[in-house]
Chains A and B, each alone.
Chain A
Amino acid sequence: KNEVEQSPQNLTAQEGEFITINCSYSVGISALHWLQQHPGGGIVSLFMLSSGKKKHGRLIATINIQEKHSSLHITASHPRDSAVYICAVRSMETSGSRLTFGEGTQLTVNP
């Protein structure tokens, strides 16, 4: 079982819908990252969280350390949001700066 589980694996939405992607992890962490991988393959860091909530434009990321759970929300979704969204954690139990990744959520937003 992967230390980082994401749901759903695939998500299809209509333009304008509110989207939530979930990430659960089983280890103590020092930080959690949300990444976006474009259809062309490039990876961009969206958020890095250790507590609470962060907002950037239409994207909101939250984390609940006690429940070992994070969510990525997209408000007023747009076809250009179509991408793979990846959750990754920096475990406190491992040394160095290793990230452990979830398997990603493929989001498709239809016009």
Chain B
Amino acid sequence: GEDVEQSLFLSVREGDSSVINCTYTDSSSTYLYWYKQEPGAGLQLLTYIFSNMDMKQDQRLTVLLNKKDKHLSLRIADTQTGDSAIYFCAESINGGSQGNLIFGKGTKLSVKP
């Protein structure tokens, strides 16, 4: 079945770059997403990438997609303490024709001052 895997924890120093990795299983995924969850809040869409792209940049965020290896990464440049949160990778399934997304278990990013 579909599955999305992420490492559970990442710790970085303020000002460094953070790289959060994710692997997914559905080769027909047309959209892949990164969500951020702060304590006590719902998930917030950070960015998405369409499957025909290798890279997408949005201010401090860079998403890299390797379709061959089904590997997705999120790089946060100049990481700030306000970036401390849980980051979820999610894939659309069945070519994006189905509405539900499959989420990873989330990577908890801790940023040390």
* Chain A complexes with chain B: no
